[in-house]
Amino acid sequence: MRALRRFLNRVINLARRREQDERLREEIEEHIALQATENLRTGLSPVEARRQAMLKFGGVEAMKQDYRAERGLLFIENLLGDLRNAGRTIRRMPGLAAVIIVSLAIGIGVNTTIFSWIQMILFQPLPGVSGASNFLLVEPRTETGGYPGASWLEYRALRTQVPALRDIVAFQVVPFQRGETGQTERTFGQLVSGNYFSALGLKPAIGRFIRPEEAERPGTEPVIVISYDFWQTRFGGAPGVVGQKLRVNERDLIVIGVAPREFQGTMLPLKFELWAPATLAPALLGGTRDLEDRSIRAFSLIGMLRAGATREEAQAELSTAMAQLARDYPEASAGIGGEILPFWSAPRGPQRMLISGLAILQGVMLLLLLAVCGNTANLMLARGSTRQREMAVRVALGAGRWRIVSLVLSENMLLALLGTSLGAAIAVWGTMALRVAPMIGAFPIRFQTRVDELTLSLAILLGAACGLIFSAAPAVHLARLDPQDGLRSSSNTPPRSRARKVLMGVEVGLAMVVLIAAALFLQSFRSARQTDPRFRPEGVLLAAYDLSGRNPDEASEREFAARLLERLRSLPDVEAAAIATNVPLDLHGIPARSFTVQGRVRTEAGQDITISNTVTPGYFKVMAIPLLEGNDFAEMGDRAAPAQAIVNEEFVRLYLNGADAIGRRLQTSEGSFAIIGVARNAVYNAFGEPAQPAVYFSYRDLPAIQGEIHLRTRGGNETALTSEARAVLRDLDPMLPLYDVRTFSQHIERNLYLRRIPARMFVVLGPLLLGLAAIGIYAVVSYAVARRTREIGVRLAFGATSGRVVLQIIRENLGAITWGTAIGWALALVISVRAITKGVINLPVFIGVPAILLGVATLACWIPARRASRIDPMAALRHE
Amino acid sequence: MVLKTLDVLGPLHGYGIARRIEQISGDLLAVNQGTLYPVLLKLEQEGAIASEWGASENNRRARFYRLTREGRKQLQVETQDWEQTAAIIARFFEVKTEDLP
């Protein structure tokens, strides 16, 4: 109680310092006066009386100090004093402070931005959905480790059989043609289960959401929910939108509601605009058998953990349920288990692509921040040694070691604080820049990243950690200072600071690791693009058409494709033309299907799965994929030939043990096919993937409602074919649009889009880091040189040439730098060999990067050394 | 000591307190008088004494300290404490070896 009152009084006194000082002064004055009067009475002279009085009183200043310590909170008073002092110090060195603050700000800003991204994936995997981190992915998993997705019937079964999950929802990504035929607009939407919106806990902005009974049986009420953005841009946000008709894929759907503003669908970072009941699939997707066929695994499932249930329980229940399904439907589900996974470990899809890059990026950026810290520590240390005198005076006047440390600390913390604030501003700007929806070709993306309390606390934490890291060396150095030495030695006999050189080495070493990481990342990114995809994308134009809504039968689909091809091939600039259902290196991936092949008996349970694409004859010519054996498919008009299939090398190796494939029969859910050829392997889903087994079917046997036109130009620019292709299609069907026209190269760029963002960051940050290292070295060397002016002057006076002086300075500093580089290089090498390239050393990177770094370092040493060697020896000697 | 002084003599200024302590202790406790002021401040901040400006013997402004009710209570407690302690110590000095059982 008493202690509390004392404390409160102290706090109050903080504000009344001046007044209180005045009071004390007056009291002392009075005391001494009284004592002097008394002494006078004992017969002393007035002067002696006062002297005795003062002697009796004791040391006034020491007493005042005690008094102040008793009165206020010394700690805070000191802190305020230190901060004021720090502010003054920083103002006196604007250039240095600017370098430190800006480099810190960049380090912290970049880290925070990346963290806001990672955080979005970790904690807000479903924007607009509260408690999104409680949702888990439910992923069927094949025994070979693939994640094929779930079929609709599987979903219906799982819904009731995993009670640990409150409600499992299913969704599928679908492209939609919105509008009247001829003037359609392509958007993306999701076909969803009836419980989708209720399980996500969403409230419509207006209207209502899909009711469970509307997604029970096919052919139920044709309804659709639109996104907030879609409502705003297409309907001007009019409330009358509910109940209006929206023409989608040649069907009239009734808009029943608008999703909340933040909601963008359930597949980060893609942004969807329309949500329709899954049961509309046959109507919207031209009679697809998604809803009945257990081997069509088109849906993704997510579910929210019931309160009190654990992931392990859910996993156990899912495994049981999947095992039951495998027993009940062996032809479609044998060997398929299931996994419950959090969003951040999504095994497939765009989330997966995003996360892997981000993790590496964050690691490297933290290293970068550490390098910045090393740099700053070095600058501060260099500056600190010019302040030895000041500190020596302080110590001599009675400042304790801790006061010195706290002085240095407060200076650095102020710098760190400024850097952090600027860094936070950069992070805010960075996340804003990310929010501006970029388009991956036709696929809209939306990042709802933001700087919230968590990211901000990370920024502050980083800032504080940096401040501490780069304060440590100078603080320790100055606190250990012997005041006598400090005062005696004049400023031109520098103690050789080993700490500074070690720090310089460490900084360069860190820079080395980061630069090599950046270079390797860029290299792998570039080489991914330069990897031979084993087909030839150059000179190929892609365009899509879609007959959905015409409700064509198979014959007319086949007929249409045949006529289209015939016309396209007759174009003078077209060397070859083909149609396929899928394009390699697509964001969605090429679908896989299960099959059995003659001559292969599976020993264990389960089923064989292969990538499959349906193509017209001529496809291999357009793609420049050579047929190693056999022939191309029979012409589209050929009605006599049996159903055909072409497999690739890997298929033969994996499933037929390299035996002759031609003539064997391949059985799928869609019929029996005769293998007529073997094609060379190609890249299907990603650059750098291991060889994948693949089967090509013929468009003639399995015509599809939509197709991707592949056109190989006869030379010249493939984009020139666009208008001709459009004209051809218009001729055939004036109302049918050609959409998603792009060159194959553009198509590949899209696929690499998500990986390109980190690559770009490296491109910007690599040189920046190099610059920082150069500034660090420069500052250290120039400080050291400035303090040796007299020594250099003496040397010059005794006849040393300026060249020798320069050489000597460079040699002295380059030693530490070389050590740092070597250690960083070795570290990077170990990491690279162990983790990234698995034994392969990227020679150009491992030679080039150190060469550049050493070059820059030498330059950074050379400039101040040269300046020092140019001084007039007389002036230098007179200097003191 | 400060509290007792103020208890006996009523409101006093710093010099008065210092003198009084010197007198009572028979000049045995003639420490630097300056050290008194931090102690006064501590007591004041704890609420045991209060202070206000008044006129000194020289007719100059001086700070007068007086005991508060709380200070009086504290004095009582401390007096008791001290007496107890002193009594215990005294007993230790009185006891001789042969007194022990």
Which residues in chain B are contacts of A31 at CB distance < 8 A? 13-15, 18, 33
Q: Is B38 at the interface with chain A, CB within 8 A? A: yes
How much is the pLDDT for A548?
Answer: 67
Identity of the residue in B14, B31, B47 whose CB atom sits nearest the CB atom of A27? B14
The SS3 of residue B62 is: strand
Domains and CATH numbers, chain B: 2-99 (1.10.10.10)
Six-digit token pair at A466?
């940096």
Say yes or no for a CB contact (<8 Å) between B38 and A30.
Answer: no
A118 phi/psi in degrees, rounded to 5: -60, -40
Distance CA A36, CA A54 (A): 8
Confidence check: pLDDT of A287 > 50: yes
Q: Is B75 at the interface with chain A, CB within 8 A? A: no
ipTM for this prediction: 0.71
User: pLDDT digits over A57-112, tens only?
Assistant: 777 777 676 776 666 666 777 777 778 888 888 888 787 788 888 888 888 888 88
Angle, nearest 10°, between helix axes A60-71 and A46-57?
40
Count how many residues are written for chain B: 101
Give the best residue of B40, B41, B57, B68 to mutate against chain A (max A CB count within 10 A): B41
Nearest to A300 by CA among A513, A458, A503, A154: A154
Which residues in chain A are contacts of B62 at CB distance < 8 A? 27, 30, 34
Q: List the single range of A232-241, A341-350, A493-502, A513-522 with lowest mean pLDDT.
A: A493-502
> Chain-wide mean pLDDT for chain A?
81
User: pLDDT digits over A800-857, tens only?
Assistant: 888 888 888 888 888 888 888 898 888 888 877 766 555 566 778 888 888 888 888 8
Size of the A and B interface in Cβ pairs below 8 Å:
80
Distance CA A224, CA A277 (A): 7
Distance CA A701, CA A670 (A): 10
The SS3 of residue B28 is: coil
Kind and range of the H or E element at A392? helix A388-396
Q: pTM of the full predicted structure? A: 0.66
Q: Is B63 at the interface with chain A, CB within 8 A? A: yes
Six-digit token pair at A485?
């030495």
How much is the pLDDT for B101?
Answer: 57
Which residues in chain B are contacts of A5 at CB distance < 8 A? 45-47
3-state secondary structure A456-509: HHHHHHHHHHHHHHHHHHHHHHHHCCCHHHHHHCCCCCCCCCHHHHHHHHHHHH
Distance CA A610, CA A696 (A): 10
Q: What is the mean pLDDT of residues A152-181?
A: 85
> What is the domain partition of chain A in residue ranges?
2-72, 144-334, 352-530+754-878, 548-735
- DSSP class of residue A189 equals E
Identity of the residue in A9, A37, A63 whose CB atom sits nearest the CB atom of B45? A9
Distance CA A154, CA A673 (A): 27
How much is the pLDDT for B27?
Answer: 66
How remote is the C-alpha of A548 from its chain's centroid?
38
User: pLDDT digits over A378-387, tens only?
Assistant: 777 777 766 7
Q: What is the mean pLDDT of residues A793-804?
A: 83
Minimum distance, in Å, between the CA of residue B46 and any CA atom of chain A: 5
Quick one: closest CA in A to B37, which residue? A67
Q: Is B59 at the interface with chain A, CB within 8 A? A: no
Distance CA A385, CA A864 (A): 18
Say yes or no for a CB contact (<8 Å) between B63 and A30.
Answer: yes
Percent of chain A with pLDDT over 70: 88
Give the best residue of A8, A39, A70, A74 to mutate against chain B (max B CB count within 10 A): A70
How much is the pLDDT for A71?
Answer: 64
Say yes or no for a CB contact (<8 Å) between B56 and A34.
Answer: yes
Percent of chain A with pLDDT over 90: 11
User: pLDDT digits over B9-63, tens only?
Assistant: 777 777 777 777 777 777 666 666 777 777 777 777 777 777 777 776 667 777 7
Identity of the residue in B13, B45, B57 whose CB atom sits nearest the CB atom of A10? B45
Amino acid making up residue B56: S
Give all strands (DSSP E) within A122-244, no chain letters: 135-142, 165-178, 185-192, 206-207, 223-226
Quick one: closest CA in A to B46, which residue? A6
CB-based contact A190:A212 (threshold 8 Å): no
Which residues touch A50 (CB under 8 Å, ≥6 apart)? A32, A36, A39
